[in-house]
Amino acid sequence: MKVYRSILEFRTYGPMKYYDITNNILDILLETSVRDGVVYIHAVGATPGLFIAHRKYLETVDSFIKKIIPVQAGWTHGNAYAHLRSTMIGTSLVIPVVDKKLWIDDEYSIFYLETRPVHNHRRKIIVYVKGV
């Protein structure tokens, strides 16, 4: 069993901006010798989100998140909504790898969500690939 680690670093421009990182993860996977195993993805921070969704329904996902946890005046903590959205969505994913491919449907993508109203924010994603 082999384990590889990589770190993606990029800048985000929020709030509620979605970044399709599928090709970044595929590039990392292809740099390894892992044919079958798992990819573990973790977004560093207290406010990002990571999820898999059908690209066609990204607007529906966005509407749902905003409806469940709206931006409201009066939060004790100015960006509490960003922390709650991150908690609801999650910051980690584990995706099976079969025959050197991510085990997700071709119509789906891996998305990184910037929930904070920050522009030009440096973000990191840690990616582990484990397998044979």
Q: Report the CATH number at residue 108.
A: 2.60.120.460
Each residue's pLDDT, cut to its tens digit, for the chain (132 residues) gives 999 999 999 999 888 999 999 999 999 999 999 999 999 999 999 999 999 999 999 999 999 999 999 887 666 777 888 999 999 999 999 999 999 999 999 999 999 999 988 888 899 999 999 999
Q: What's the Cα-to-Cα distance from 120 to each of 3, 58, 72, 117, rounded to whole Å?
A: 32, 23, 23, 10
Which domain, by its residues, includes 65?
Answer: 2-131
- Tally the domains of the chain: 1
Which has the closest alpha carbon to 95: 39, 29, 22, 32? 39
Going by the DSSP 8-state scheme, the letter that residue 79 receives in this structure is T
Q: For the whole model, what pTM was predicted?
A: 0.93
